[in-house]
Amino acid sequence: MLKRMFLAVSVMGVISGLIAKDDVSLERRIGQMLMVGFYGTTAKANTQICQDIKRYNLGGVVLFDYNPVDKNKPKNIASKKQLAQLTKELQACSQDGKLLIAVDQEGGRVQRLKSIYGFYGKFPTSAQISKLNPSQIKTTYRKMGLELQGVGINYNLSPVVDLALNPRNQVIYGLGRSFGKDPKSVAAFASIFIDAMHQHHVLTSLKHFPGHGSSLGDTHKGFVDVTHVWKETELEPYRLLKAKADTVMVAHVFNQKLDPDYPASLSFKTVTQKLRQNLGYRGVVVTDDLQMGAISQKYGLRDTLKLVINAGNDLLLFGNQLDPQKAVSTKTLVGLIAELVKSGEIKEENIDKAYRRIQRLKEKL
């Protein structure tokens, strides 16, 4: 009797696994792995972005205010009313109403919701936050979360948990984007940030794994080698917050101590072995923008996609923001990844794992 019951349960498990996989085409499972930037302040049914969300089951979009093509026009963010309408239209294009709609809203120089568009726009830097008491910090970040929720943004690509280890670092230290140099206090501040976002149904992302605080260069502009300055302690905030983090964003820094061949975002040794296996992180891994100079100057699109998925990343970010000449369409990305799966250069199993992790993340919404 028990044997028959066990067999029935096993068969049901296999069937449900097959349904979960076969129910969604390869193309639409791949689509869930993409988070793209686009040009436009509306997403009506006839717009390209809406059609891409519908056709390819796009996982997410990332919004920007600055328009690199026409500085006199906003890219996606013009006003509170317009942004609330845009996010509503974007969700209406999605199958599940759980499209990830992301912005970088850290505070200081990095806040997309600016006062010129009718938002508060004066959130302090992480360095300034670290000087406030816990009650003030909670109030500040709850205000931020409420503002994001009010306009339909459900994913904040923050907090920064890089350590302030290098005063000559311009991209983290110089902009006050770090909470400090002590990993425990950095994790504590980041924890308050995450709680405040969660109160307003906004997901978060720890960044930039495995640590950008010790670097000298800027991965937006090109290759950055942290081999001789990086310290093991930079992993500690991720270890402390692994159970709480919604997602972890991987940087494009090159670190020979972790991988002698590839930058972090393209590295199986960094993403799968270090972050997942050694540190025990189980959630979604998102890449930093794959059009940044550190990647685009050295790797073609096909190789980037092959390496980044085989490394173990789940959500691939293409901001279409840094170089208008290199904007890439969702159709191109889905087509290339599907080709790589069919040729055996990417295991379909990697697509399935990423798809499942993204579905679990979306259940939090």
Closest by CA to 35, choosing from 146, 213, 207, 154, is 154
| Beta-bridge partner residues of 250 | 209, 287
Number of Cβ within 10 Å of residue 161's Cβ equals 32
Specify whether 201 is catalytic: no
Which backbone phi and psi does 211 adopt, to 5 degrees?
Answer: 130, 120
CB contact set of 249 (below 8 Å; sequence gap of 6+): 157, 205, 206, 207, 208, 209, 285, 286, 287, 288
Strand spans (E) along 77-202: 100-103, 105-107, 110-111, 155-156
Locus of tokens 């191109």 = 332
- Residues 141 and 193 sit within 8 Å (Cβ to Cβ): yes
- Among this protein's residues, is 288 annotated catalytic? yes
291 phi, psi to nearest 5 deg:
-100, 5
The beta-carbon contacts of 259-266 under 8 Å, at least 24 apart in sequence, are 262/307, 262/311, 263/223, 263/294, 263/295, 264/209, 264/210, 265/290, 265/295, 265/308, 265/311, 265/313, 266/295, 266/299, 266/304, 266/307, 266/308, 266/311
Query: Which one of the listed residues 198, 218, 220, 352 is annotated catalytic?
Result: 220
One-letter identity of residue 358: I
**Nearest-CA neighbor of 337 among 23, 26, 62?**
26
Residues 150, 317, 288, 207, CA torsion sign: positive
Q: Which member of 65, 162, 288, 289 is catalytic?
A: 288
List the catalytic residues: 220, 288
